[in-house]
Amino acid sequence: MVERRIPKVHDLAPLMQFKKPEFNARTRRLAAATSIADLRTIAKRVTPKAPFDYTDGAAEGEISLSRARQAFQDIEFHPSVLRDVSKVDTTREVLGKTSALPFGIAPTGFTRMMQTEGERAGATAAEAAGIPFTLSTMGTTSIEDVAAAAPGGRNWFQLYMWTDRDRSLALVDRAQAAGYDTLMVTVDTPVGGARLRDVKNGFSIPPALTPKTVINALPRPAWWINFLTTEPLAFASLDRWSGTVAALIDTMFDPTVGPDEVKFIREQWKGKLVVKGIQSVADARLAVELGADAIVLSNHGGRQLDRAPIPFHLLPAVVREVGTEVEVHLDTGIMNGADIVASVALGAQFTLIGRAYLYGLMAGGRQGVDRTISILSEEIRRTMKLLGVASLEELEPRHVTQLARLMPIGQPAANTVSALNG
């Protein structure tokens, strides 16, 4: 028989730990989020369908995106034990300067459509965290306003080469004058990808008020109040544009862009040059020859060519080919700090987050972006400690095995042809 007794007050006291209630719903929701997936769930609940799907979706069958995420799940870590990991160093030298974490914020278009704080939230959160922020050509906050919002931040600018070269150069000049230290030229967009969710949703900039969007907005009043009571949504860096979104894209995405255009930009830009959208070893080699300081292995988050190569799978081969000549960065599919640790172990100098950042932004504006960075930072530190490494420099290929799920039958000769060469 178990002997029972009446509990004494001094026995109950340690168990009675009542937390001070949090009355701010946004703060309460974000504090409860323990993963990027949690932030995505919140974002979906508070954001209208069209802007959420624009962020969440990818091209055609969304196969490229799902494969990229699966690639990170299909890894095996190999930890070392009996190591002192009481302190871990997450800093990384990136293009001549120190980043507090091995990731930065990727360029995203139409950002204030997702949440009204937009690029300002991303830039100021990045500044506070000590990591780079990249402003898109198709951003909704101007080059100058982002620089003013985060004067102590490390701001990069992403460029699409237009058919109108003078307008492209005007953006480059503005970024240089505003103190941006890195130019990221995106080369995987000769045309826009077929993003079918956007087609089905009748996506437009600004969002159209139709019976369907009004019904969808009813349970999300905060988004619409913010949208209707703040500055009109527009492409802030393109202050002379007065046409439609479709016409803008036709003008911006130039199918004739080749090596000469990248070489020309290299001659004009005085800072660091990054070429984004590399999807083969041959293209990586070409980018080096054109003067890039870094390349980004990326299939545009799966938003361009569906069934494109998986950047994480390409990483080891590209690092072997050009890793001693340029920095190799990586994006697409990153949803966990462990994904970033695995990328660094296989040779990536740096990584970029797009959707993970936008899920946080939609979930809670600047607070939400801070929470995204905090979650990834915690996951990176925890993974490093469990692997038995005290600094990013200690990570090596031996720490990670890429498990095979998609086995190529043969390597087509076309895969060695450079996209930059047309």
Give the mean model confidence (pLDDT) for residues 121-130: 98
Q: How many CB atoms lie within 10 A of CB 160?
A: 21
- 311 a known binding residue? no
pTM: 0.91
Give the mean model confidence (pLDDT) for residues 153-157: 97
In a domain, 359, yes or no: yes
Residues of the domain holding 374: 26-76+91-381
Kindly report the CA angle at 421 between 417 and 422, in degrees rounded to 5?
Answer: 85
Whether 300 is catalytic = yes
pLDDT by residue (tens digit) across 291-317?
999 999 999 999 999 999 999 999 999
- pLDDT at residue 417 is higher than 70: no
Lowest model confidence (mean pLDDT) among 178-187, 306-315, 405-414: 405-414
- 355 a known binding residue? yes
Give the mean model confidence (pLDDT) for residues 238-267: 73
146-to-67, 149, 153, 178, 232 alpha-carbon distances in Å: 34, 5, 10, 9, 17
Q: How many domains does the chain have?
A: 1
- pLDDT at residue 413 is higher than 50: no
* Secondary structure (DSSP) of 61-72: T-HHHHHHHHHH
In a domain, 32, yes or no: yes
- 418 a known binding residue? no
pLDDT band, residue 3 (cuts 50/70/90):
confident
- pLDDT at residue 64 is higher than 90: yes
CA dist 335 and 287 (Å) reads: 27
Q: How many CB atoms lie within 10 A of CB 62?
A: 17
DSSP E strands in 100-181: the ranges are 103-105, 133-135, 155-159
- pLDDT at residue 250 is higher than 70: no
User: What is residue 232's predicted lDDT score, i.e. its pLDDT?
Assistant: 81
In a domain, 9, yes or no: no
- pLDDT at residue 410 is higher than 80: no
- 118 a known binding residue? no
In a domain, 3, yes or no: no
pLDDT band, residue 20 (cuts 50/70/90):
confident
User: What is residue 231's predicted lDDT score, i.e. its pLDDT?
Assistant: 86
pLDDT by residue (tens digit) across 36-63?
999 999 999 999 998 999 999 999 999 9
pLDDT band, residue 419 (cuts 50/70/90):
very low
Query: What CATH number did the domain enclosing 61 receive?
Result: 3.20.20.70
- pLDDT at residue 233 is higher than 50: yes
Q: Which of 300, 313, 329, 399 is catalytic?
A: 300
The answer to whether 164 touches 251, Cβ cutoff 8 Å, is yes
CA dist 139 and 117 (Å) reads: 12
- 158 a known binding residue? yes
In a domain, 18, yes or no: no
DSSP E strands in 21-115: the ranges are 75-77, 92-94, 97-99, 103-105
In a domain, 361, yes or no: yes
Give the mean model confidence (pLDDT) for residues 246-251: 61
- 195 a known binding residue? yes
User: What is residue 404's predicted lDDT score, i.e. its pLDDT?
Assistant: 84
In a domain, 413, yes or no: no
User: What is residue 2's predicted lDDT score, i.e. its pLDDT?
Assistant: 84
In a domain, 398, yes or no: no
What value does the CA radius of gyration of the chain take, rounded to a whole number of Å?
Answer: 23
